[in-house]
Amino acid sequence: MKHYYTTSKATNNGFAFNTTGLFLLILVVNLLNTFTTAAQGIIINPRSSMVLNGGVTLVINNGSLKNDGALIPTTSTVKFSGDTDTLTSNVNGSNKTIFHNLSIVKSSYGVALKSAVGVRNVLAVTGGNLYTDSNLTLISDAALTARLDVVPSTSKIIGKANVERYIPSRRAWRLMTAPVTSSNTIFNSWQNKGIYTPGLGTLVTGTNPTGATGNGLDLSYQNNVSLKSWNPATQALVNVLNTHVSASPRNTGSADNTGYFMFVRGDRDPNNTFVPNSNITTLTSIGSLQTGTQVFAASNTANRYALIGNPYASPVDFDKIVRNNVVKRFYVWDPTINALGGYVMMDDLDNDGIYVKSILASNQTKDIQSSQAFFVETKVNGEAAVTFNENSKSGKNNNLAFRPQTSNTTSGTGVGQIRTNLYLLEANNTTIFADGVIAEFNDIYSAGLDRDDAIKFGNVDENLALQRITTSLAAERRPALTINDTVLFKITKIVSRNYQFEFIVDGLQQQDMYGILIDSYLNTNTIVSLAGTTTVNFSVNGNAASYAANRFRLVFRLTAPLPVTITNVAAYQKNTNIAVDWKVANEMNMLKYDVEKSIDGTTFTTVATINVTGTYNAANSYNWLDENAVQGNNFYRIKSYDNNGEVKYSSIVKVTIGQKEGSFSIYPNPITGNVINLQINNQPAGNYHVRLTNNIGQVLYVSSFNNNGGSNSQSLNTGSKLPVGIYQLEIIGQDNNHNTQKVIVE
């Protein structure tokens, strides 16, 4: 029996050819042409290929596509049209059929997927129904993530589908959702049924894991919780300790999906539980696609938050979401920030469609991606809701929202603003973005705390906020800048290491006005330009004042400040005396320095006065020899004076003579990051070598440093965060003397 297929241009300009089924079919369709096939459809026989070159459209009218070979879609569209039922209009065959774009435009009835089908770009169901028969996969990979286009109310998608989300190789938290209803369990979907398949699924860990036959949790080295949900009553994330529950707990077809905070290490390779291991993976959400109106209830209490999962297998434009008693603002988690990601605030207070983001370096836009969740805030007490409609969908796939790349995209309202970014400063002077905030100045804003100000969500790692009264803010809106205005910073979760501030100022330049960053730990002032970008480096050590949350503030004055910075103070024994050295950067408008001494570390007296000898705005060095050193502890600090009478103090250094032998110590210990601070007490001058080993003797880090003699400190940066455990730091000094210190990492 023979089957005939007539294929011709849709324009009906006379071009046509016939081909007979049941033989080896290799059909190549030319670029930019549109073809229509009628009758019984198309058969791709075994060991045969059908190649659709370029952006062609193949219309299958009242027919089927049987694939026993391979369909190679490139960037084409396959469209099913007509009015026949699914007995005739279907996709079947022994092989999986991959479409670039798949379009259903039936005038009646629909199309059935009787064999496995994947869509790489756009699935459009604009006429008739699509019956998936659990054979549909919306594919996500490094290049593309498939999306479901607008579905009219006259069409339906019946049956379950697999919705994929590609995750790059990066250990980070993510705000995720399964954009389906009537879903499979977390274990059967995101955990790939507990099966290790390279590049698929992920490990979900927690306390007391009992695996596939128990609570579904995977075993890990630390048994840290890697999946959390949001408790609207307590306004806090709570641990998910059983994954044999539906990823989307309801099955009504309306706003059934739930938002989660998930730590993704990579696929289910057990080695990914060890830092810094990671690889690419794809998470699959299995269930029925949600279409039509989706209404999520928000909190009915003012200034409280709800975690919403994007219900569609498609990006949505936050500008097109209907908000009832909800601020036009949302928070997402950007996995590309810092080591494990960070929160980003997006809002549009003047309703012009241009969104301000708290972190300029973030890749987030107003388009919320498929499988992405986000927080919203209730305005006032009363019923509140967020409503998605099909026209909320966006065609803007933003791969960067899930991928660790950088973007220079800017956004803002045009008012004067200061963006403050916090970076990790590496030993080689490279930086890693950690967190950021924005302050905007305009007389349309109030001086008090109100809804224009955006609350700061706390990060896993370093957290930078703007402080207003007792509230931490990601975005602070205030009236136009005036003299003596002060921006208060709050920094938490910092560790002993080097950091860098970046101040990006736009639209605030005023004649004779200066921004001054005041460091209450070092007692220094640094000029911050009100036109452009200023960077300021600082360090955190074992001194509690160095990591005080309120260490920094930015004030605005009419006169030039004292920008002098004492960058280093050192003291060391020199025979029976003690030498005190200090270095000064940006020496400007300076009068003199006092050397102050104490034997108890509390009460200081002036023992020497040194006049300024350097040149204007230069970096200079000073020294003084204490010929009256005492047995025991000798404390020193430097007091600086400017020509206007302002006084600043340096940090305190200590040298112990006679009563205490030379020693080494670690501070703080335990450590929490990748920096080990080594305190050197009364050690001879020379070159020292260090070596860090774990409990099985593996060498993890080697380095060396030069000690000028006496007491000092040295920061050892291991390059990456160390796993929790106990380590040995071996210090090899002059004459091959060895000293070993225990390092505890928590």
Higher pLDDT, residue 561 or 2:
561
Percentage of the chain beyond pLDDT 90 is: 58
pLDDT of residue 335 exceeding 90, the answer is: yes
What are the beta bridge partners of residue 424?
432, 499
- How do residues 687-700 score in pLDDT, each as one tens digit? 888 888 887 778 88
Question: Roughly how many angstroms between the first and final C-alpha of the chain, as a whole number?
Answer: 74
Lowest mean pLDDT, pick from 2-16, 28-42, 116-130, 428-442: 2-16
Is the model's pLDDT at 645 over the cut of 80? no
Q: What is the pLDDT of residue 686?
A: 83
Task: Summarize the confidence of residues 257-284 as an average pLDDT.
Answer: 95
Token pair for 652: 């305190």
Q: How are beta strands 259-264 and 227-231 bridged, if at all?
A: antiparallel
Q: What is the pLDDT of residues 715-743, one digit of tens each?
A: 788 877 788 888 898 988 877 788 888 88
Taking the mean position of all CA atoms in its chain, how far away is CA 524?
A: 32
Binning pLDDT at 50, 70 and 90, where does residue 494 land?
very high
How high is the pLDDT of residue 35? Answer: 52
pLDDT above 70 for 2: no
CA 470, CA 464: separation in Å to the nearest integer? 15
| Residue 410 binned pLDDT confidence (cut-offs 50, 70, 90) | very low
What is the spatial distance between Cα 629 and Cα 637, in angstroms, rounded to a whole number?
A: 15
731 neighbors 678 (Cβ within 8 angstroms) = yes
Tell me the pLDDT band of 618, cut-offs 50, 70 and 90.
Answer: low
Give the percent of the chain with pLDDT over 70: 88
Q: Burial, 697: exposed, middle or buried (Cβ in 10 Å; 0-12, 13-18, 19+)?
A: exposed
- Predicted local distance difference test score (pLDDT) of residue 254: 87
Tokens, residue 310: 């994007």
Is 124 a residue whose pLDDT tops 80? yes
Interval 57-67: pLDDT, tens? 999 999 999 99
Please say whether the beta carbons of 44 and 93 come within 8 A.
Answer: yes
> Is there a contact between 180 and 201 (Cβ–Cβ < 8 Å)?
no
Q: Which residue has the higher pLDDT, 285 or 405?
A: 285
Q: pLDDT digits over 47-96, tens only?
A: 999 999 888 999 999 999 999 999 999 999 999 999 999 988 999 999 99
What is the rounded radius of gyration, in angstroms, for the C-alpha atoms of the chain?
Answer: 32
Whether residue 38 is predicted with pLDDT greater than 60 in this model: the reply is no
Whole-number average pLDDT of the chain: 86
Determine the pLDDT at residue 377: 97
User: 22 pLDDT exceeds 70?
Assistant: no
Checking if the pLDDT of 28 tops 90, the result is no
In the block, tokens 């409990």 appear at 695
- Give just the sign of the alpha carbon dihedral 215, 219, 224, 227: negative
Q: Could you give the CA distance from residue 694 to residue 725 in angstroms, rounded to a whole number?
A: 8
Instruction: Give pLDDT, residue 739.
Output: 87
The pair of structure tokens assigned to 58 is 């193949």
Strand pairing class (663-666; 647-649): unpaired
Answer whether 486's CB lies under 8 Å from 447's CB: no
Cα(515)–Cα(439) distance, integer angstroms: 14
Verify cis geometry, omega within 30 degrees of 0, for the bond prior to 232.
Answer: no
d(CA 462, CA 459): 7
Q: 614: pLDDT confidence band, cut at 50, 70 and 90?
A: low
Please give the DSSP secondary-structure letter assigned to residue 40.
Answer: T
> What is the band of 491 on the pLDDT scale with cuts at 50, 70, 90?
very high
Distance CA 90, CA 130 (A): 9
Region at 189 (left for phi over 0; alpha for psi -120 to 50; beta for the rest): alpha
Confidence of residue 14 (pLDDT cuts 50, 70, 90): very low
Q: Residue 615 has what pLDDT?
A: 52
Residue 148 has pLDDT above 80, yes or no: yes
Per-residue confidence (pLDDT) for residue 400, from 0 to 100: 60
Q: Please say if the pLDDT value at position 438 is more than 90.
A: yes
Q: How far is CA 211 from the centre of its chain?
A: 29
Predicted confidence (pLDDT) at residue 408 exceeds the cutoff of 70: no
Q: How confident is the model at residue 483 (pLDDT cuts 50, 70, 90)?
A: confident
> 632 or 236: whose pLDDT is higher?
236
Dihedral Cα 541, 545, 551, 557, nearest 10 deg: -110
Cis peptide upstream of residue 670 (ω within 30 degrees of 0): yes
Burial annotation 392-423 (CB, 10 A radius, 16+ → b, else e): bbbeebbbbbbbeeeeeeeebbebbbbbbbbb
State how far the Cα of 64 lies from the Cα of 92, in Å rounded to an integer. Answer: 8
Q: Which strand (E) or helix (H) includes residue 626?
A: strand 618-626
The answer, yes or no, to whether residue 551 has pLDDT greater than 90, is yes
pLDDT per position as a tens digit, 282-334: 999 999 999 999 999 999 999 999 999 999 999 999 999 999 999 999 999 99
Q: Is the pLDDT of residue 518 over 60?
A: yes
641/564: higher pLDDT: 641
DSSP at 200: B
How many Å apart are CA 225 and CA 247, to the nearest integer?
17
Tell me, what amino acid is at 480?
A: A
pLDDT bin (cut points 50, 70, 90) of residue 660 is low
